[in-house]
Amino acid sequence: MISLKPKLAKLFAKNVRKTILKWSSKPIETQKKVFQKLIKEASHTKFGKDHDFKSINTHQDFIERVPIRDYEALKPYVDKVVAGEEDVLWKGKPLYFAKTSGTTSGAKYIPLTKESMPTHVEAARNAILMYIAETGNSKFVNGKMIFLQGSPVLEEKNGIQLGRLSGIVAHYVPKYLQKNRMPSLETNCIDDWETKVEAIVEETLPENMTVISGIPSWVQMYFEKIQHKTGQKVGDVFKNFNLFIFGGVNYEPYRSKFENLIGKKVDSIELYPASEGFFAFQDRQNEKGMLLQLNSGMFYEFIEADTFFDENPKRITIADVEVGVNYVMIISTNAGLWAYNIGDTVEFTSTKPYRVIVSGRIKHFISAFGEHVIGKEVEQALQEAIASSLISVTEFTVAPQINPNSGLPFHEWFIEFENEPENLSDLANKIDKSLQEQNSYYYDLIVGKVLQPLKVTTVQKNGFQDYMKSIGKLGGQNKIPRLSNDRKIADALYVQKLTK
């Protein structure tokens, strides 16, 4: 029997592509409309009254009345929402809270509203449809699709349901995909990540898997278990698997390892989802960067990362951004987040249309000596160092060593290898050379003999998984920071190594 699904998917994709091209071709006008609507809709809320939204007509008015806040600064308002109050940050009450790990304030409760929730679902759907529209490949819709995600079991707090974002989104899978979706609800509800992945392996092995989606580090665990159980490459087990959808971290450090595990190259789609909003997705296979979602109830501001910690940093809109500059992204949304710092830094790869890459976290950097090294730089340095070699990296993180036993301070790279290099010093030199070429501050510190070149410390197999498990963050949306400005992770990895 011939399935109509692929043909219908192509028609649907064509229509969605037209809609996206319409707003993305008028980006500044689109953002102005979003801004005006947000201000109008929230003018009667407590936050809107406290910040005189009724007198806001321009972006400059907004800057003057609404300061930048992170979660801790917005928490007094969020606490009122969590307590059950209405019309605080957005009209009425949220539909859900996405519960995430906080920094100084414990658990964070990010509101998801009637207006914001559909944008999370539509963006994920549209990413796949834009891929179909571009490539013409729609056969995969007949196969099984797996989305490695958090448990869909939700709690309740003052009448509002809460859970992990991926678990909440699991309740919104369209009916036409329900039969294709894996794993089963029962398996998806397993809390322990390792037990869950084992169960997913058992469920999916007999199936015609065509699409696999998740954070690369956790999908890697799934692939390794399949290979261990079958003795075959993933691509031989799932012969029709040809699309990998990922988000959360840069895929490039994992690409060679994945291609080895799969046994062939497969197309991939990068997503940029977060509890605070679904910000961007890869709209073209051969273009660098992800299409910024300008028509999804989110207004964006940007601050140059180098000036972010200044007393009064300049806030700009997309109208004034430049390609290749590292920006902190600030959002205001129809979930009631206002001039909110999500902590991510981005770079624009294009302004026609507006495409971004995630360059790192404003809190995840190394500047113990004024070097301002960011995530994008260390990832690129490692990629360049292992290119055209048989070296394969499973995971890595970088920390400063301020007080070494001897010699000058240095950056210490903790790397878990799949295939180790014959000469660690040679690899360290290549990484260091690339980092010096990318970052002039780092170059000056090396040349000026303030720092010595970086050193590589090997991490035993599954060392990063063991570390994440030890802090209760194995699986789901959790990931290892690429950079730390302290030794917290580094010291834990050392202790772990000594106790093995």
Domain total in the chain: 1
Interior/surface letters 233-266, b for 16+ CB within 10 angstroms, e for the rest = bbbebbeebbbbbbbbbbeebbebbbeebbeeeb
**In-domain check, residue 451:** yes
Domain membership of residue 487 (yes or no) is yes
Range of the domain at 430: 375-499
> Has residue 233 been placed in a domain?
no
Q: Count Cβ atoms below 10 Å from residue 465 Cβ, excluding itself.
A: 21
Residue 264 lies in a domain: no
CATH of the domain at 474: 3.30.300
From first to last of its 500 residues, the chain has per-residue pLDDT tens of 345 588 888 999 999 999 999 999 999 999 999 999 999 999 999 999 999 999 999 999 999 999 999 998 999 999 999 999 999 999 999 999 998 764 444 678 999 999 999 999 899 899 999 999 999 999 898 899 988 777 788 888 888 998 888 888 888 877 766 778 888 888 888 877 788 889 999 999 999 999 999 888 778 889 989 999 999 999 999 999 999 999 876 777 677 788 889 999 999 999 999 899 999 999 999 998 999 999 999 999 999 988 887 889 999 999 999 999 989 999 999 999 999 999 888 999 999 999 999 887 777 677 777 777 888 889 899 999 998 888 888 899 999 898 888 888 899 999 999 888 989 999 999 999 999 998 877 988 898 788 899 999 999 988 998 898 888 777 666 678 888 878 888 888 988 776 65
Residue 437 placed within a domain: yes
In a domain, 178, yes or no: no
379 part of a folded domain: yes
- Please report whether residue 287 resides in a domain: no
Q: Looking up tokens 């920094």, which residue turns up?
A: 103
